[in-house]
Structure 1
Amino acid sequence: MKQPTEMNHLNTFTEDDDSNSNDYGYKEKKVPYSTDMEAEIQNFLPDGTLERRSTASFGMSVFNLGNAIMGSGILGLSYAMANTGIALFVILLIAVAIFSLYSVHLLLKTANEGGALVYEQLGYKAFGMPGKLAASCSITMQNIGAMSSYLYIVKYELPIVIQAFTGTTDEWYVNGDYLVLLVSVTIILPLSLLKNLGYLGYTSGLSLLCMVFFLIVVIIKKFQIPCPLLDEAALNETLSKMVNSTFPRLNLTAVDYSGDTCAPEYVVVNSQTVYAVPFLTFAFVCHPAILPMYEELKDRSRRKMQSVANVSFLAMFIMYLLAALFGYLTFNIHVEPELLHTYSKIDHNDVILLIVRLAVLTAVTLTVPVVLFPIRTSVNQLMCASKEFSWVRHTLITVVLLAGTNALVIFVPTIRDIFGFIGASAAGMLIFILPSAFYIKLVKKESMKSVQKIGATAFLILGFIVMIGSMTLIILDWTNNSTENHEGH
């Protein structure tokens, strides 16, 4: 493994935000900057220069971090609320948000002490190659999970869009599996093969705008969709009568699944409740992006970056809560793991929902190459860091990664399993285990008996409990479902 070399110009981090730093005489750390990292960042910049470093304002940093947090995870939160109840969901959402912010605090302190601006470099400084592999594998798994969730959206939503335009329901081109492969080969693969993906960086802003639009529509639809849900034929008849007649109220037959299905529950415990915490951790993980954003922050200090994180997490907390709440109140127990797909129960031809679907499909399709890029870079660094660039190797790694992700999307039954597994494993590692482990190992100025180290140790133990517990319960749920399906046949 080629080790990073130190540049002549070193980045300076001013430690101005707590009294502990002054007590230890700890005011500044000079952080070595990697030439490998410089080359990697250049690939993302439209003009191939580094002039944008350390020039991001507070507001722009909040926006960028919001982009990093926000993703497809928002689509699964209504499902999580349906299986926990409103009160329990809010408690879990607050807990995961606070824990995520605490891990950001640990990362920033560790970066100053350890002298590294990349997650994998912190892993290497803390535990050598095993630490670097743990960080790299966790980030790779998280990014593969993100890619899979984006392609699931293509699988679920593109057929509905095509059906709305063609009226066809039984042709091959409305089969989600075929469409995922078609989009991957014709759009995503060519974009992923480019060496410079800088211009695609703007898709992160598009994705955030799409999700804001999605949230607005979710809130509006809560007051337009009746409960219990009408079947589609009854709904179309209702809309027709409302347009062509003056009847103020219509006596319609609803699809009443059971009891009082429209009454919200405040605490729910069932076999699907186990997916709630993984869904939330998947939605909040953004930690590999924290250190690069810290490095780009203008007039940076740890206090300022922590404030950026606080504002970003608060904004995303509000968006997540509103999306989960109004999606759940709209569909109650009938909400699906991918909320946008649940609206297909109502009306495939709703113009507003069709626009939302097209916007989200465009955003996620263009975001997949951006997510794939760091995975390929990581694989290159691990397998052949000392070798010159090769188009054959570049293409082969890209095709293998994209093919593997497509296989996951086609053969794994639902997006719930991706959110659950990645949230319990990779996201748990990135939020709980790695930041606390790196902090305990690299921050030498604090003894193991200090409040800070005791807190980090407790956070590490909590992370193992959450990760192992969630994975165990998810595997048990998969086993039970497999047994039931087998007995059903």
Structure 2
Amino acid sequence: MERDGSEQPPDRAPQIETDDHTALVSKPRSKGGNGDLASAGFNIINSIIGSGIIGLPYSMKEAGFPLGVLLLFGVAYITDYSIILLIKGGNLSSTNTYQELVKKTYGFLGYLILSTLQFLYPFIAMISYNIITGDTLTKVFLRIPGVGSENVLTDRRFIILFTTVIFTLPLSLYRDIAKLGKVSLVSLLLTIVILVIVMVRTVTLDPQIPKSENAWVFAKSNALQAIGVMSFAFICHHNSFLIYGSLKEPTLNNWSRITHVSVLLAVVISVLFAVCGYMTFTGYTEGDIFENYCRDDNLATFGRFCYGVTVILTFPLECFVTREVIANVFFHGNLSTAFHIVVTVFIIAVATGVSLVYDCLGIVLELNGVLSATPLVFIIPTACYLRLSEERWNHSDNLISCLILAVGVLVMTVGFVLTILHPQECSHGKEMFYCFASNVSFHNGTLPP
């Protein structure tokens, strides 16, 4: 694709030819941050396997188990490819944020559309994190001896307010996202603990729970909706420029290395989680896998606690993005210390207020997947790169980008229609039938013979 020569920035990064594609390996015009490769990697992994991982077993139910696994690998590949493509586009256009990139390639209208999507996705995710925290930790506290249903610790509103004031607000007030690297490492370790618990329960619960009809069919009609759920889980594009800019040496080679390792680890954890969760509950799998475990299951209760903490630690990453969007749109990218605090408090206050009123987002989360996550993962990075690329039309990057773009448009349009016609049901707080029918006792993590 050709561009007018006058549009090319004079200080664009030099290009070095490689076997597969043209790589931009020099630093961008902006100064690097203070973060190392490990911290950036932990932030990417934490962004991917935050709360979205909990819905991946449900995506297997929606797509059909074998097809679901294949789609999960496909979404992971597209995530890896498009994250790198996004930074390539930034280097080609000499821009340092997602918004600047889209504005330079598609003008002010593209900038507004991207800003809206980039704000809505993490903002709705923050609301869902609060709801999950309230619902999950109240079940944990109910298992403490002497804590009854009337105790303040079992009030989801109190839990949401308490965790917001004590944990998420202070962490969200950081100005440098690299400082969340250690927090993201803790979140990653807790996610691995949750994975182990799900795997253990696959072995211990599988014989006790009846398999649903057509549990192992190759494909089901809701496969496109499943891609929306997977996109919701894997999206980290909205904070990619923030993480990239936090590197001491922000080069494409460093970024590609971090991305490949981070996405590989994330997809291994995600596939194991999705497969084990679905194999345990098959057609009875809920959107939140922890809704499937009985309330008196102590091992699952510990998993709920770990998950609640993980969500709390992921919340600040999303707040960073929403704040950056507001700063770029209304404050030209610069926030004084006072405005930084005011904007952060305002964002968190609104998100907390909504999560206190609503306790089940259901269709909203599915729509967030197909209408916000899918364009941010599939459509916008590839569309920007195709507009900026100077390679021949049949270059591998251009062909792959066109394919991903077409898939994204298909998933977004058809997924939206299917979500409206067949929205996900909310079984919020419902005890599953097998918890009563088999009279299974899960106390102390044991099962009857």
- Quickly name the TM-score band, shorter chain normalised: 0.7 to 0.9
SS where residue 205 of structure 2 aligns? coil
Structure 1 residue 421: Cα displacement: 1.7
In the alignment, residue 404 of structure 2 is paired with which amino acid?
Answer: F
Structure 1 residue 120: Cα displacement: 1.6
> Which structure: larger Rg?
1
User: In the alignment, what sits opposite 1:176?
Assistant: 156
User: In the alignment, what sits opposite 1:216?
Assistant: 196
**In 2: Cα distance, 1:390 partner to 1:293 partner:** 21
User: In the alignment, what sits opposite 1:312?
Assistant: 262
Query: Structure 2: which 5+ runs fail to align?
Result: 1-10, 427-449
Which residue, out of 176, 195, 204, partners 2:184?
A: 204
Change (3 A) 1:358 1:412: closer
Structure 1 residue 400: Cα displacement: 4.8
**Maintained 8 Å contact 1:203/1:363:** no
Please tell me the root mean square deviation across aligned C-alpha atoms, in Å: 3.5
TM-score (norm: length of structure 2):
0.79
SS where residue 336 of structure 1 aligns? coil
User: In the alignment, what sits opposite 1:17?
Assistant: 18
Change (3 A) 1:451 1:269: closer
**In 2: Cα distance, 1:292 partner to 1:216 partner:** 31
Which residue, out of 463, 466, 485, partners 2:411?
A: 466
Cα deviations by residue, 1:58-114 (Å, 9 ceiling, x for unpaired): x66544432332211110011111232211111211221222223234224323321
In the alignment, residue 271 of structure 2 is paired with which amino acid?
Answer: L
**Maintained 8 Å contact 1:14/1:300:** no
User: In the alignment, what sits opposite 1:446?
Assistant: 391
Cα deviations by residue, 1:290-340 (Å, 9 ceiling, x for unpaired): 445445667775455334323322222221111111111222222221112
Q: Is 1:65 the counterpart of 2:12 in the alignment?
A: no
In the alignment, residue 169 of structure 1 is paired with which amino acid?
Answer: S
SS where residue 217 of structure 2 aligns? coil
**Maintained 8 Å contact 2:39/2:181:** no
**In 2: Cα distance, 1:131 partner to 1:224 partner:** 51
Q: Is 1:74 the counterpart of 2:21 in the alignment?
A: no
In terms of mean alpha carbon deviation, does 280-289 or 71-80 score higher? Answer: 280-289
Which residue, out of 353, 358, 366, partners 1:411?
A: 358
Any residues of structure 2 matched to 1:139-178 within 5 Å, and which? Answer: 139-165=118-144, 166-169=146-149, 173-178=153-158
Structure 1 residue 118: Cα displacement: 2.0
User: In the alignment, what sits opposite 1:250?
Assistant: none
Change (3 A) 1:91 1:411: same
In the alignment, residue 347 of structure 1 is paired with which amino acid?
Answer: D
SS where residue 369 of structure 1 aligns? helix
Which residue, out of 248, 257, 261, partners 2:212?
A: 261
Change (3 A) 1:226 1:109: closer
**In 1: Cα distance, 2:335 partner to 2:223 partner:** 49
**In 2: Cα distance, 1:355 partner to 1:135 partner:** 39
**In 2: Cα distance, 1:197 partner to 1:447 partner:** 37
Q: Is 1:358 the counterpart of 2:338 in the alignment?
A: no
Change (3 A) 1:332 1:346: farther
In terms of mean alpha carbon deviation, does 261-270 or 276-285 score higher? Answer: 261-270
SS where residue 223 of structure 1 aligns? helix
Cα deviations by residue, 1:264-291 (Å, 9 ceiling, x for unpaired): 4233536x65531111001111123444
SS where residue 109 of structure 2 aligns? helix
User: In the alignment, what sits opposite 1:32?
Assistant: 29
Structure 1 residue 406: Cα displacement: 4.0
**Maintained 8 Å contact 2:131/2:360:** no
In the alignment, residue 428 of structure 1 is paired with which amino acid?
Answer: T
Change (3 A) 1:327 1:472: same
In the alignment, residue 87 of structure 1 is paired with which amino acid?
Answer: P
**In 1: Cα distance, 2:254 partner to 2:337 partner:** 41
In terms of mean alpha carbon deviation, does 92-101 or 203-212 score higher? Answer: 92-101
Change (3 A) 1:105 1:261: same
**Maintained 8 Å contact 1:429/1:463:** yes
Aligned length: 415
In the alignment, residue 406 of structure 2 is paired with which amino acid?
Answer: I
**In 1: Cα distance, 2:280 partner to 2:396 partner:** 45
Cα deviations by residue, 1:1-27 (Å, 9 ceiling, x for unpaired): xxxxxxxxx896663533654xxxx97
**In 2: Cα distance, 1:386 partner to 1:99 partner:** 29
Cα deviations by residue, 1:353-374 (Å, 9 ceiling, x for unpaired): 3333333323322432342133
**In 2: Cα distance, 1:387 partner to 1:301 partner:** 24
Any residues of structure 2 matched to 1:30-429 within 5 Å, and which? Answer: 31-33=28-30, 50=33, 52=34, 56-57=36-37, 62-165=41-144, 166-169=146-149, 173-185=153-165, 187-189=167-169, 192=172, 199-225=179-205, 227-229=207-209, 260-261=211-212, 264-267=215-218, 269=220, 274-294=224-244, 302-303=252-253, 305-343=255-293, 345=294, 347-348=296-297, 350=298, 352-385=299-332, 389=336, 391=338, 394-395=341-342, 398-404=345-351, 406-408=353-355, 410-411=357-358, 413-414=360-361, 416-429=362-375
In the alignment, residue 327 of structure 1 is paired with which amino acid?
Answer: G
Change (3 A) 1:405 1:427: farther
Change (3 A) 1:196 1:31: closer
Question: Alignment identity in percent?
Answer: 25
**In 1: Cα distance, 2:363 partner to 2:112 partner:** 24
**In 2: Cα distance, 1:478 partner to 1:110 partner:** 36
**Maintained 8 Å contact 1:215/1:323:** yes
**In 1: Cα distance, 2:417 partner to 2:138 partner:** 34
